């Protein structure tokens, strides 16, 4: 069966830039446009020339993408002005872009209230604007703003607006659910009506996620005949975001009835780049990736329940809807109090131990994990602490050093300039290689001071921990009150880019932190193959 082509249009760098807290620099835009192109997206809408200096500059550079078409976004001509006397519109025509996507009104209410012009003038403005883009030699797209609300309010007028754009030469007429309030059933019905007037291979969908249906609405439009989908990476976008292309793409490529009926510009190899591309954007925005994101989240293929893990090890299809590798993600089998021996065995195998399921040490380790988790430890979030626990249980963690004692002092006092300051100082005594080493460290808080003291002098191991840095420190109070039990999770990194997580639990926050710090250092020594002196 010949598959119909679906076109993917990414607006991360335009509608995504309308996300609260998101701001792309020129370099960010160039990097993301390249990443989207490499992913196999057909159109990259990189901004709104004339709206701000960054976007204007992007379209002055004329950076060509090897595969994707670069789209410049902007509005139809201003009312009461000729095309040549509208600087905003002229900026679009002059933009170094392959196509121009014009947004225009398709809801009579908006024409009356937001534009305040006669309805016929709006239709004429759409037609004139599209014609001018076509005459400039660029491909024209028309984003029909509020199309679905407009269709429900005044079907004839909404259809007249898009018909004007199509007749004027728009390659694509894109139906926008601008307020994001339309549900999939309505989208499917309305798109089915539209394709009776405009051929489906000229109709697109631009959905927002205000009811959590951005992806479902985009798929509903495809089922009804639309052949272009606009969306953003990771669902970035104004208010609740746009339809998330990171969910839409694998659904189109791996799920029925889409996969058997359509093809996109992506190959299976492109699809394996999906998780990476999604993370590139998070990294650029300095955001923690959404752990639970469909397909690409760190938890998307993480199995915690013992019953699940046992079955997944027999055949992953028992609890996975698609193979994680197909989208560039990976399977994780977690160790926790919800697990059984299968979870432990899987984790042991990951760290290099092959043990039979009936090995009594496995049952012993499982019991210890459950006992410690009951006290507040969380091993699914602390892979390095689990590895140390497992290795100690199986009897092969070298004993590098002992901590004889530590002391922490926090003092609030006036400094030499008479300013009130709080200072923290820690002393740690470690025994290494038959020798006691006492170190003093200062820090912004007690844990920082302890960390500095502990890592000041570890004797023969000092050179191995020089590149160790603490990336993140999280405290969770497990029971209420000032005598609460505290769980500390520490994320560490070293010069080779390795990252690991350790956990400590105690009614005393400094004790809990120290335990997690110690695990981190021991893990680093273990990974680096340090030998006992």
**Site residues (vs ligand ACO, CB under 6 A):** 15, 18, 48, 51-52, 75-76, 78, 103-105, 114-115, 145, 178, 238
- Closest of 254, 256, 255, 180 to residue 218, by C-alpha: 180
75 or 488, CB closer to ligand CC(=O)C(=O)O?
75
Interface residue with ligand CC(=O)C(=O)O, options 8, 97, 176, 221 (CB under 6 A): 176
CB of 239 to ligand CC(=O)C(=O)O, least distance (A): 10
133 or 369, CB closer to ligand ACO?
133
Q: Is the C-alpha dihedral spanning 389, 394, 400, 405 positive or negative?
A: positive
Contacts by 309-314, CB closer than 8 A, 24 or more apart: 309/333, 309/334, 309/339, 309/340, 309/342, 309/343, 309/346, 310/340, 310/342, 313/342, 313/345, 313/346
**Nearest residue to ligand ACO, using CB?**
51
55 binds ligand CC(=O)C(=O)O (CB under 6 A): no
- Closest of 395, 385, 341, 372 to residue 478, by C-alpha: 372
213 binds ligand CC(=O)C(=O)O (CB under 6 A): no
Q: Which does 75 bind (CB under 5 to 8 A by kind): ligand CC(=O)C(=O)O, ligand ACO, none?
A: ligand ACO
Interface residue with ligand CC(=O)C(=O)O, options 131, 139, 143, 209 (CB under 6 A): 143
178 or 290, CB closer to ligand CC(=O)C(=O)O?
178
**Between residue 190 and residue 209, which ones bind ligand CC(=O)C(=O)O under the rule CB under 6 A?**
206, 208
Q: Which does 430 bind (CB under 5 to 8 A by kind): ligand ACO, ligand CC(=O)C(=O)O, none?
A: none
**Between residue 419 and residue 458, which ones bind ligand CC(=O)C(=O)O under the rule CB under 6 A?**
none
DSSP string, 364-385: HHHHHHHHHHHHT--GGG-HHH
CB of 125 to ligand ACO, least distance (A): 6
Look at strands 435-443 and 420-432 and give their pairing: antiparallel
Contact 412, 420 (CB under 8 A): yes
347 binds ligand CC(=O)C(=O)O (CB under 6 A): no
> Quick one: tokens of 362?
């496995």
Total residues binding ligand CC(=O)C(=O)O (CB under 6 A):
8
103 binds ligand CC(=O)C(=O)O (CB under 6 A): yes
Contact 164, 123 (CB under 8 A): yes
Adjacent-strand bridge partners of 406: 428
242 or 278, CB closer to ligand CC(=O)C(=O)O?
242
Quick one: DSSP state of residue 331?
Answer: -
Question: For the chain, what percentages of helix, strand and coil (3-state, to nearest 5) are there?
Answer: 45, 20, 35
Contact 280, 24 (CB under 8 A): no
178 or 218, CB closer to ligand ACO?
178
- Closest of 506, 510, 498 to residue 387, by C-alpha: 498
126 or 525, CB closer to ligand ACO?
126
Q: Which helix (H) or strand (E) holds 73?
A: strand 69-75
Adjacent-strand bridge partners of 263: 5
Q: Which helix (H) or strand (E) holds 207?
A: strand 203-207
DSSP string, 91-156: HHHHSS-SEEEEEEE--HHHIIIII-S-HHHHHHHHHHHHHHHHHTTSEEEEEEETHHHHHHH-HH
CB of 265 to ligand CC(=O)C(=O)O, least distance (A): 22
Q: Which does 341 bind (CB under 5 to 8 A by kind): ligand ACO, ligand CC(=O)C(=O)O, none?
A: none
CB of 206 to ligand CC(=O)C(=O)O, least distance (A): 5
Residue bearing tokens 């290099």: 352
Q: Which does 114 bind (CB under 5 to 8 A by kind): ligand ACO, ligand CC(=O)C(=O)O, none?
A: ligand ACO
Q: Which does 206 bind (CB under 5 to 8 A by kind): ligand ACO, ligand CC(=O)C(=O)O, none?
A: ligand CC(=O)C(=O)O
Q: How far apart are CA 385 and CA 377, in angstroms?
A: 10
- Chain residues binding ligand CC(=O)C(=O)O by CB under 6 A are 15, 103, 143, 145, 176, 178, 206, 208
């Amino acid at each position: 069966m010949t598959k119909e082509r679906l076109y993917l249009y990414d607006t991360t760098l335009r509608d995504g830039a309308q996300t609260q807290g998101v701001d792309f620099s020129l370099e960010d835009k160039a990097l993301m446009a390249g990443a989207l192109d490499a992913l196999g997206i057909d159109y990259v809408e990189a901004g709104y020339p004339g709206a701000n200096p960054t976007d204007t500059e992007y379209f002055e550079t004329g950076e060509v993408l090897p595969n994707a078409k670069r789209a410049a976004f902007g509005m139809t001509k201003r009312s009461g002005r000729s095309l040549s006397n509208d600087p905003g519109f002229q900026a679009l025509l002059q933009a170094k872009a392959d196509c121009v996507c014009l947004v225009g009104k398709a809801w009579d209410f908006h024409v009356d209230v937001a534009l305040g012009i006669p309805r016929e003038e709006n239709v004429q403005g759409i037609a004139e604007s599209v014609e001018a883009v076509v005459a400039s030699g660029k491909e024209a797209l028309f984003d029909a703003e509020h199309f679905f609300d407009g269709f429900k309010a005044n079907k004839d007028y909404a259809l007249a607006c898009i018909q004007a754009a199509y007749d004027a030469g728009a390659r694509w007429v894109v139906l926008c659910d601008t307020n994001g309030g339309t549900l999939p059933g309505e989208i499917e019905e309305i798109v089915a009506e539209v394709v009776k007037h405009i051929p489906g291979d000229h109709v697109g969908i631009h959905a927002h996620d205000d009811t959590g249906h951005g992806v479902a609405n985009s798929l509903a439009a495809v089922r009804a005949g639309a052949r272009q989908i606009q969306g953003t990476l990771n669902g970035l976008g104004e208010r609740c975001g746009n339809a998330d292309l990171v969910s839409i793409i694998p659904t189109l490529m791996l799920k029925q009835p889409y996969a058997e009926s359509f093809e996109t510009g992506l190959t299976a190899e492109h699809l394996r780049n999906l998780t990476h591309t999604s993370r590139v954007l998070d990294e650029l925005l300095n955001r923690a990736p959404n752990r639970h994101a469909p397909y690409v989240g760190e938890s998307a293929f993480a199995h915690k329940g013992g019953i699940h893990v046992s079955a997944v090890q027999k055949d992953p299809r028992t609890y996975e809807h698609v193979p994680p590798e197909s989208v560039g993600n990976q399977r994780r089998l977690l160790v926790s109090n919800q697990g059984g021996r299968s979870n432990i065995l899987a984790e042991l195998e990951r760290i290099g131990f092959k043990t039979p399921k009936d090995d009594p040490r496995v049952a012993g380790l499982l019991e210890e994990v459950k006992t410690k988790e009951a006290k507040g430890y969380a091993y699914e979030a602390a892979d390095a602490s689990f590895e140390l626990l497992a290795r100690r249980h199986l009897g092969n963690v070298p004993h590098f050093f002992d901590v004889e004692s530590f002391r922490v002092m926090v003092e609030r006092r006036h400094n030499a300039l008479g300013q009130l300051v709080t200072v923290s100082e820690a002393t740690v005594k470690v025994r290494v290689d038959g020798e006691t080493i006492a170190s003093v460290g200062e820090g912004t808080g007690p844990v920082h001071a302890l960390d500095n003291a502990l890592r000041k002098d570890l004797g023969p191991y000092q050179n191995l921990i020089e590149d160790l840095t603490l990336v993140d420190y999280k405290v969770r109070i497990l029971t209420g009150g000032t005598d609460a039990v505290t769980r500390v999770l520490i994320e560490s990194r070293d010069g080779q880019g390795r990252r690991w997580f350790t956990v400590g639990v105690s009614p005393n926050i400094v004790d809990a932190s120290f335990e997690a710090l110690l695990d981190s250092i021991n893990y680093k020594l273990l990974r680096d193959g340090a030998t006992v002196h």
